[in-house]
Structure 1
Amino acid sequence: MPLDKTDITPTELQSALANCRQYWLNYGYERNEDEGVTLYRSGVPHPQLNGVMRVAGDDILRKVDYARQVLKDLPSVWWLGPDSHREAIQTVTAMGGLIRGKVPVMVARPSDLASDPLPAGISIEVIEDDRELLTWVECFAPSMGVSEGSLAQLQRVEMERLDKQGEYTRFAAKLNGMIVGTSALFASHGVAGIYVCTTDVAYRCNGIGAALTRHAALEGWKKGLKLASLQASKMGEPVYRRLGFRTVAEYDLVMF
């Protein structure tokens, strides 16, 4: 996929990648950020909740083998992007990892995002109550491929994230008091990272996802974060592009 021209600096790109690493690390009860290997392990048998965010430095074979041993009893996803060694993907696939595709890293200046009115009847609210948090997780779980049988585990690890005070803010789009969409702002490394942006399947194609994305980015801007970043799914990429996000890098996703 050709990358768009943008005014993002190399330092800002590294900050966006670091934001993504930290977001997923905060799901991990076991974390390792030493010797060029960044991994997390929640213990929940779902690939997105256990994984490797970076393999860098020298002696890549040893580092990949180490990470495989830590995660060998769980499904995992390896995010191999510009912050990983160029030979990492060949090493990981040689050990049996399966390439599942590429995920674009997209960025925007929050002040430049397209502005549209909220969809009729929709309000966007911060989720702070634990009971509402459970419903919030239930809304985005299908987009992660989390089965009903694993929902309680996902809800538990979401409640037990390792975020610092004020680092993570959850938003819900509500219609008549019912949660119909989600997004989250992860403020880290000077970047407004946007995550779990999804809309209940019954309410899609009404502008809710775009509104949630913009809202999270602008809340980051209010915190002084001048760059918003996200990793786009195939379904979400056209929405983010219309808002003003541009692709600046890609992750290869490899799963075990």
Structure 2
Amino acid sequence: MESLDTVLAAHRAYLLGWNIGAAGGPDLPTYRSDVPHPPLNGVLRVAGRTPQDALAEARQRLHGVPRIWWVGPDSDAGTADGLVSLGATEVARMPIMTAVIGEAADAPTPAGLHIAETTDLDTFVPAYARVSGIPADGVPATIEREKAFTGDGTVIRLAGRLDDGQIVGTAVAWLSHGLVTLYFVGTQPEQRRQGIGAAMTSAALGLAAERGARTAALTSSPIGESVYRRLGFQPVGEFRLLTF
């Protein structure tokens, strides 16, 4: 099992792959996609900087876009409370979860669902955008950023389609730092409670294992946490997501 530091480094590397702005140094790394969706612009850690200094610099880099601060175990102790004292609002607490891929439970693929890698971003991105809350007017920019994505790893995009070709499930697997980190795991609202999200996760873990990954990581919403626990994921830390 990779260390929590490695898991966090892989997470930072993925989000920096969206960046088209000034990323800064390891004390205050930021990413800016210009997509009007807070999780796709933000601050990844604060280390060795006061909250006041960090806020002033981050505001300059991220001016004009909605953004969030990922305050987790790789930020200095007290960062979140310091930012709250400056006016930040906590929007969520998300557990950081990991699993040993070889020990993860298998999830059956629901009848009529076909899961495969896809490069068709024109259909894939709108599917995950609808589930993730990316507004319709932000979808074209998201497609362009996906096409231009760069990073020190490999992106695997998985689409779960019905027989008619409709995408009902999505997952993005990020292979970096010796592990796989999952993003945009989602199911269209009309198709929920059928095991699609678990099947998408299981398929992503299988492909990652074929490419040498032994550890999987993700950040979970409250809705998804029970599903991931059943598959074998356990919490190893937490992000406090803040916004101004």
Same fold (TM over 0.5): yes
For 2:202, the aligned partner's letter is: R
* Higher mean displacement: 189-198 or 84-93: 84-93
Pick the aligned partner of 2:160 from 173, 176, 184. 173
Distance 1:117 1:178 in 2: 20
Could you tell me which residue of structure 2 aligns to residue 5 of structure 1? none
Question: What is the TM-score normalised by the length of structure 2?
Answer: 0.94
The alpha-carbon deviation at position 74 of structure 1 amounts to: 1.7
1:251 corresponds to 2:239: yes
Runs of 4+ with deviation above 4 angstroms: none
Per the alignment, residue 111 of structure 2 pairs with 120
Kept after mapping to 1: 8 A contact 2:15/2:40? yes
Hey, what's the Cα distance between the residues in 2 that align with 1:105 and 1:93?
21
Within-5 A mapping of 1:206-225: 206-225=194-213
Whether 1:142 aligns to 2:142 is no
Provide the rounded CA distance (Å) in 2 between the counterparts of 1:37 and 1:204.
Answer: 38
CA distance in structure 2 between the aligned counterparts of 1:142 and 1:217, rounded to whole angstroms: 23
Q: 1:58 Cα shift? A: 4.3
Shift of 1:191: 1.4
Distance in 2 between residues matched to 1:83 and 1:116, nearest whole Å: 32
Which has the larger displacement, 166-175 or 51-60?
51-60
Give aligned pairs, total. Answer: 243
Q: Tell me which amino acid in the other structure corresponds to 1:116.
A: A
One-letter amino acid of the counterpart of residue 23, structure 2: N
The alpha carbon displacement at 1:107 in A equals 0.5
Q: What does 1:1-256 correspond to in 2, within 5 Å? A: 8=1, 12-128=3-119, 132-164=120-152, 167-176=154-163, 177-256=165-244
Root mean square deviation, CA, Å:
1.6
Query: Aligned-pair distance for 1:159?
Result: 1.8
* Distance 1:242-1:31 versus aligned 2 partners, 3 A rule: farther
Deviation at 1:60, TM superposition (A): 4.5
- Kept in 2, the 8 Å contact 1:168–1:187? The answer is yes
| TM norm structure 1 | 0.89
Cα deviation, 1:113-135, whole Å, max 9, x if unaligned, reads 1113311011111112xxx2111
List alignment gaps of at least 5 residues for structure 2: none
Deviation at 1:147, TM superposition (A): 1.7
| 1:4-45: CA deviation from partner (whole Å, max 9, x where unpaired) | xxxx5xx61111111111111111101424151111011222
Give the whole-Å Cα distance in 2 for the aligned partners of 1:116 and 1:90: 39
Q: CA deviation at 1:59?
A: 4.2
- Mapped to 1, the partners of 2:125 and 2:35 lie a distance apart of 15
* Whole-angstrom CA distance in 2 between matches of 1:58 and 1:49: 23
- Please give the alpha-carbon distance, in whole angstroms, between the structure 1 residues aligned to 2:167 and 2:34: 28
Separation (CA, whole Å) in 1 of partners of 2:8 and 2:177: 9
CA distance, structure 1, for counterparts of residue 184 and residue 26 of structure 2: 29
Shift of 1:150: 2.0
Q: Is the 8 A contact 1:77 1:254 kept in 2?
A: yes
Q: 3-state SS of the aligned residue for 1:37?
A: coil
Shift of 1:106: 0.6
CA distance in 2, matches of 1:209, 1:126: 15
C-alpha separation in 2, matches of 1:22 and 1:92:
24
Tell me the SS of whatever aligns to 2:201: helix
The answer (yes or no) to whether the contact 1:194–1:229 under 8 Å persists in 2 is yes
**Uncovered stretches (5+) of structure 1, i.e. residues with no partner:** 1-7
